[in-house]
Structure 1
Amino acid sequence: MKRVLITTSGRPDEVTETRAFAAEQALGYARIPRNKRSVKNLMATNSSDLLVVGKERYELYRQTMSEPFFFHPDTAAFRLKRLLKGETDPLVEMCQLEPGNSFLDCTLGLATDCIVASFAVGATGIVKGIEVDPDVAFITATGLTQFQPKFQELKEAMRRISVVQDSASVFLKGQPDHSWDVVYLDPMFSQTISESISFAPLRHVGVHGSLTEEWVSEARRVARKRVVVKAHFNDPVFEQFGFTQIIRHNTKFHFGFIEK
């Protein structure tokens, strides 16, 4: 099991101290003083990963990483701007999302797709994200509630999302039949997509796993309208689990769906 320690930025203030305490309470990790030491030095000295607490964000460093993982809306901001202009979004189209729908994201990560879904289903809808990695779940959940975006629609979409730290298959087993309109699956890509720069830190910190028969079976049981998967265009999951693959030219990931 990975070892993670908590420290603060170089010049912690009262806000930073409060955020550090919140991380300690939520994750149960020990805290070490920064004492002007570099992140690299602290990780090497303590043989551990490091959660660095700043005034505005948490940064997670794994020993294999050169850049930290931290919350940011990623592509959700410009995707929402396109929707506000009346344009379409592939996720919204594939999931057939409408105001008032419920959307369960089984692989939350940075919550980029969850944010778009939250905007699409509106204030009367329900959006929940499941994330198995406790560090990613904590950082993303905190970011969704505390990050200050540049426009109100993005802020409202972020704030409506709830986060659960759990494995997708375990969570799904506890859900009633047909209890979510859409169940969404976006496991770690089986092949690296080089242009997804913002995805690189998540690849290092996230829990890597493939879809299983049990996982897809539970998703089908729980979904009321559709189970939707996103994967590399030549990923075997489409054929393996019976998803109808939608070809998207000039993109390296495709969506697939199982209609209920």
Structure 2
Amino acid sequence: MNFVVTTSYNPSKELIEIAKKLAIEYDVRYLNRNHLPKYLKKGLIDFYYVIDKKKMLSIKWRDGEFFFHQGIAKIRMENIRHGERDYLIESINPSENDVVYDATCGLGSDALLIANYAKKVIATEGSVHIYRVVKWGLSNYVSEEEWINKSKEKIELLNENYKDFIRKVEERAFDVVYCDPMFENPIYESNSLNPLRSFALYEPLTKDDLEEMLRISKKKVVIKTLKKDNLYKEIRKYFDEEYVSRKSGVVYGVINKTEV
């Protein structure tokens, strides 16, 4: 896909410099925002990175936008504080000394929530475009929620495909391994996820992947899936516990690590 880096309208010299540096880093062209419409009209670019006046990075295209935000994590934390259940946190049950591996970071909402309870979260994201936006957000976004600011500091995000990463990590490298592959039957009502679908990697989780995840974990592996997905039907036999949302059909399947 063809893309460029630009700024919001009427940018400062600082914004222009940031955008130009990113264009060099991404090995693409920097484009003055005023010149962008004619490129879009001619179909010369598919999407574009934007540095806005708050110095935040996003990706835009004709009818959509992908940007880093805290929305889901913030709402879920509010629900937890009001005594509601959160199946992710219940299934992982992270302690303050745990290092958790989040194999499929996406927007980073799960990583933020986990990091609030854990010592550290190592996360991988295979899509370079999702990685860039989320990495920038984790580094530059300042929240009104102090727990989010603290959680951001405990997340290390890597641009790697989890299938490759789990095969080169040493045994028992993490206390808990968590994987949330893209659903086969997407929940389109999930507005926060819809914009990233165009950039996400769709790769099926295999039995070999599960074995590698168990190898690099000390305590457990947690897989998020949907009851109506084939993945659930294929791997449910390995689950020792299931945390299921009756409303959405989302399942957090837990495979406890047993020592031989």
The TM-score with structure 1 as length reference comes to 0.89
| Pairing 1:22-61 to 2, within 5 Å after superposition | 22-35=21-34, 37-38=36-37, 41-42=39-40, 44-56=42-54, 57-61=56-60
Contact kept? 1:102, 1:126, Cα under 8 Å: yes
Q: Quick one: distance in 2 between partners of 1:84 and 1:154?
A: 14
Contact kept? 1:15, 1:55, Cα under 8 Å: no
Query: Which letter does structure 1 place at the counterpart of 2:144?
Result: K
| Pairing 1:249-260 to 2, within 5 Å after superposition | 249-260=246-257
Q: Quick one: distance in 1 between partners of 2:17 and 2:123?
A: 26
Query: Which letter does structure 2 place at the counterpart of 1:105?
Result: D
Q: Quick one: distance in 1 between partners of 2:41 and 2:100?
A: 38
3-state SS in 2 of match to 1:69: strand
- 1:26-52 deviation per Cα after TM superposition (whole angstroms, max 9, x unaligned): 4222222222543x8537442432112
Are 2:107 and 1:110 aligned?
A: yes
Structure 1: where are the runs of 5+ without partners?
none
Choose the corresponding residue for 1:197, options 164, 177, 191. 191
Query: Which letter does structure 1 place at the counterpart of 2:27?
Result: G
3-state SS in 2 of match to 1:204: coil
Contact kept? 1:186, 1:230, Cα under 8 Å: yes
Are 2:63 and 1:81 aligned?
A: no
- 1:131-166 deviation per Cα after TM superposition (whole angstroms, max 9, x unaligned): 011111011011012112112111111222111001
| Structure 1 pair 25–41 and aligned structure 2 pair: CA distance change class (3 A) | closer
After the TM superposition, which of the residue ranges 142-151 and 208-217 deviates more from structure 2?
208-217
Query: Which letter does structure 1 place at the counterpart of 2:68?
Result: F
User: Partner residue of 1:19?
Assistant: 18
3-state SS in 2 of match to 1:197: coil
3-state SS in 1 of match to 2:166: helix
- 1:160-218 deviation per Cα after TM superposition (whole angstroms, max 9, x unaligned): 21110011011111211111111111111111213211110011221222212332221
Query: Which letter does structure 2 place at the counterpart of 1:106?
Result: A
User: Partner residue of 1:234?
Assistant: 228
Note the C-alpha offset of 1:232: 1.6
Note the C-alpha offset of 1:90: 1.4
Q: Quick one: distance in 2 between partners of 1:22 and 1:212?
A: 39
3-state SS in 2 of match to 1:46: coil
Q: Quick one: distance in 1 between partners of 2:59 and 2:14?
A: 18
User: Partner residue of 1:100?
Assistant: 97
Are 2:212 and 1:214 aligned?
A: no
Q: Quick one: distance in 2 between partners of 1:17 and 1:243?
A: 52
Choose the corresponding residue for 2:147, options 146, 150, 153. 153
